[in-house]
Structure 1
Amino acid sequence: MRVHNNQAERVWLAPMSGSTDAAFRRQAVRFGCPAVVSEMVAGETLVAARPDMVRRTCRHEGRGRWIVQLAARRPEDMRKGAELLTEAGVDQIDINMGCPSRQVTGGSSGSALMREPALAKAIIDAAIEGGQGTPVSLKMRLGWDREQLNAPDLARYAEQAGIVMVTVHGRTRCQFYKGHADWQRIADTVSAISLPVIANGDICSTPSARAALTQSAAYGVMIGRAAMGRPWLPGQIAAELSGQAYEVPSLSEQLDSLIEQIEDSQSLYGKTLGLRIVRKHISAAIDKLDVPLSEAHRRRARSMACQIEEGATLISTLSDIFLEQRGVAA
Structure 2
Amino acid sequence: MRIGPYSIHPRVVLAPMAGVTDKPFRLLCKGLGAGLAVSEMTISDPRFWNTRKSLHRMDHAGEPEPVSVQIAGTEPAQLAHAARHNVEHGAQLIDINMGCPAKKVCNAWAGSALMRDEALVGRILEAVVAAVNVPVTLKIRTGWDADHRNAPTIARIAQAAGIQALTVHGRTRDQHYAGRAEYDTIARIKADLRIPVIANGDVDSPRRAAQVLRDTGADAVMVGRAAQGRPWIFREIAHFLATGEELPPPPLAQVREILLGHLRALHAFYGEEHGVRIARKHLGWYAKDRPENAAFRAVVNRARTAHEQLELTGDYFHALEAGLAPALPDAA
Q: Fold match, TM over 0.5?
A: yes
Q: Is the contact made by 2:12 and 2:35 (CA closer than 8 Å) also made in structure 1? A: yes
Q: After superposition, where does 1:1-330 map in structure 2 within 5 Å?
A: 4-9=4-9, 10-45=11-46, 48-59=49-60, 61=62, 63-131=64-132, 133-243=133-243, 246=247, 248-289=249-290, 293=291, 297-328=292-323
Q: Does 1 or 2 have the higher relative contact order (CA < 8 Å, sep 6+)?
A: 1
Structure 1 CA distance for aligned equivalents of residues 146 and 230 of structure 2: 33
* Shift, 1:215, TM fit: 2.0
SS of equivalent to 2:319: helix
Structure 1 CA distance for aligned equivalents of residues 159 and 71 of structure 2: 18
Q: What's the CA shift string for 1:145-198, capped at 9, x where partnerless?
A: 111111111111211221110000000001111111111221121112111111
* Shift, 1:7, TM fit: 3.3
Q: Assess, with a 3 A threshold, how the Cα gap between structure 1 residues 281 and 46 changes in structure 2: closer, same or farther.
A: farther
Q: Is the contact made by 2:3 and 2:135 (CA closer than 8 Å) also made in structure 1? A: no
> Which stretch has the larger CA shift, 136-145 or 246-255?
246-255
Amino acid at match of 2:127: A
* Shift, 1:2, TM fit: 8.3
Structure 1 CA distance for aligned equivalents of residues 217 and 144 of structure 2: 22
Q: What's the CA shift string for 1:269-304, capped at 9, x where partnerless?
A: 221111111211110001144xxx3xxx11111221
* Shift, 1:51, TM fit: 2.7
Q: Is the contact made by 1:27 and 1:261 (CA closer than 8 Å) also made in structure 2? A: yes
Unaligned runs of 5+ in 1: none
* Shift, 1:244, TM fit: 6.8
Structure 2 CA distance for aligned equivalents of residues 60 and 200 of structure 1: 28
After TM superposition, the score normalised by the length of structure 1 is 0.92
Q: What's the CA shift string for 1:39-83, capped at 9, x where partnerless?
A: 001111477433311211322756442111111111111010111
Identical aligned residues as a percent: 35
Deviation beyond 6 Å, 4+ runs, structure 1: none
> Which stretch has the larger CA shift, 43-52 or 31-40?
43-52
Q: Is the contact made by 1:29 and 1:62 (CA closer than 8 Å) also made in structure 2? A: no
Q: How many residues are aligned here? A: 322
Q: Assess, with a 3 A threshold, how the Cα gap between structure 1 residues 268 and 80 changes in structure 2: closer, same or farther.
A: same
Unaligned runs of 5+ in 2: 325-332
Structure 2 CA distance for aligned equivalents of residues 180 and 123 of structure 1: 30
